Structure 1
Amino acid sequence: MALYVYAITADDHPLDLDGLTGVGSEPAPVRPVVSGPLCAVVSDVSETIRPKRRDLSIHNEVQEHLMSGGPVLPLQFGYTAPDESTVEQVLQKDAEGFRANLERLGGCAEYHVRASQDEEVLLRQILSEDDEARALNERMRSGDIDPQLPLSLGELIARQVQVRQDALASGLIEALVPFAREHTVRRASEPDFLNFSLLVPDDRREAFLTAEGNLAREIGDGVEFRLNGPLPPYSFVE
């Protein structure tokens, strides 16, 4: 029977899997597959696992449960292996890398930060603070029919939006990175202008959360700051 694989841990992880059942329409008990110094946490599956809400939730719950007991290498949703022998072979083949990753990620959790900005608030700021944008806007409002005006104003506002959001994103990253052991910045998709993850050690967690809360309050009008975590360290598994 195929196995659904949730995570990899060290063989001395407490696991405490009693009562946990896994993904699928006929949930099987979550159990370990041990190979040398490593353990894969799995459950039996007899079907193709698709990203349904229930199964996504169970996948996350198992990983969060494991995190409470020690370092884990979380696998992305949907990873399966044909049998225990295949799992054991993978653990044996990459044992050195898995053990190094577990040591590096020990005592840490991932926090994911996103930020977006209200377009209307940002537009008002640009028109009030940028002399050129304000002048072009006033010409349009006064009835100037120059056909280049809308294009010129639109291009100027687009540049200003990019410059201002890049600067704001850099400032936020600079303020939070000192609390992290590692961080990674991703390309943000609209409406967000910031999308990055931090690997935060447990002994810096409270200071990090305090700093994030202060930033969220002080960041300014029209900016939404969103924090998700603690999470399994998906972004930092090498």
Structure 2
Amino acid sequence: MTSEPTLTYVYAVAVPTPQLGRIVASLRGVDDAPVTLLTPPEDGGPTAPAFVTSQVLHGDWREEVLRTRFEDLAWLESTARAHHHVIQTLTDHATVLPLRMATLYQDDDRALAALREQQPAFADRLALLAHHAEYGIKVYVRPGAGAPDAQEAAAPASTSPGKAYLHARKAQHHAREDRYQQATLAAERIAATAARHATHVVRHPTQTGPLARGEDGEDGENVLNDSYLVPDDQVEAFRTAVRHASQDLPGVRIDLTGPWAPYSFAMPPPRATGTAHEAPGGRT
């Protein structure tokens, strides 16, 4: 064990059980560190929430170092993957309240103090998330969807170049309006689906650039980016309804993903005494 000072890195909140303890003991987290359960004092009761933690070197995670590290995309991606791996593995076996990447405390005592302070709020949130999972729905307008055909775009042969240009621009404008009308219809259908089969919904900003690619890598303009908290007994009905909602919408693609750890429905982490850094986390 290194003698260099460490910080306590917190991944999530969960209720400790023998099964959860076995799973945690098999995990490695950020910096390939072993993951452990930081349990509350005995007076917290057998169902009191615990922190899922690991130890990281103070020299690598102090605030001034992290300012630079969070500009290193390779490091950021690797760390986010390690953080998510811990949370997603636990989610497959238990109700987990994810915390932001790089939620850090000076030591276990500081972390336990925060855990005690937030225990009622954590317990309430875990009860809300029990037997639920997060699903993502993104709606895209396909590239070129609704583009005018050659006959529509072509101006009469006697038309001047200037008028021909304006004619083509008008046709493109109408095509774009058609595309967005299709997308609006898709969004309305998805909203109705969520109302029937999800208990909560979070609307995220639409994505642009490389993030706007679908799960299959296909390009398209993202016009809806929602997360739904779905009860386990509603999942099949939810999936079926979403598939039906995506029918008869030429030029519109709907991606349904999940189940995910409920990042979108997790409360913000407590304000950590002695926190080195807290970076925003969550699904993209």
How far apart, CA to CA, are the structure 2 residues paired with 1:168 and 1:75? 32
Q: Please tell me the residue identity of whatever aligns with 1:19.
A: S
1:19 aligns with 2:13: no
Deviation of the 1:90 alpha carbon: 1.4
Deviation of the 1:30 alpha carbon: 0.4
Q: Which of 97, 106, 130 is residue 130 of structure 2 equivalent to?
A: 106
Matches within 5 A, 1:24-35: 24=31, 27-35=32-40
Matches within 5 A, 1:80-119: 80-119=104-143
Structure 1 match to 2:185: 167
Whether the aligned pair in 2 keeps the contact of 1:109 and 1:200 (CA below 8 Å) is yes
Unaligned runs of 5+ in 2: 1-5, 70-74, 209-220, 268-284
1:195 aligns with 2:211: no
| Helix, strand or coil at the partner of 2:233 | helix
1:57 aligns with 2:81: yes
How far apart, CA to CA, are the structure 1 residues paired with 2:188 and 2:157? 35
Deviation of the 1:94 alpha carbon: 1.6
- Superposition RMSD on alpha carbons, in Å? 2.8
Deviation of the 1:237 alpha carbon: 1.5
| Helix, strand or coil at the partner of 1:121 | coil
- Normalised by the length of structure 1, the TM-score is 0.81
Q: Which of 262, 265, 280 is residue 236 of structure 1 equivalent to?
A: 265
Structure 2 match to 1:131: none
Whether the aligned pair in 1 keeps the contact of 2:134 and 2:227 (CA below 8 Å) is yes
| Helix, strand or coil at the partner of 1:188 | coil
1:204 aligns with 2:242: no
Q: Deviations over 1:149-204 (max 9, x none)?
A: 56655555554444442232112221344111111222323421111010011111
Structure 2 match to 1:43: 54
Unaligned runs of 5+ in 1: 129-133
Whether the aligned pair in 2 keeps the contact of 1:176 and 1:211 (CA below 8 Å) is no
| Helix, strand or coil at the partner of 1:115 | strand
- Normalised by the length of structure 2, the TM-score is 0.69
Counting matched residue pairs gives 227
Whether the aligned pair in 2 keeps the contact of 1:13 and 1:69 (CA below 8 Å) is no
Q: Please tell me the residue identity of whatever aligns with 2:222.
A: D
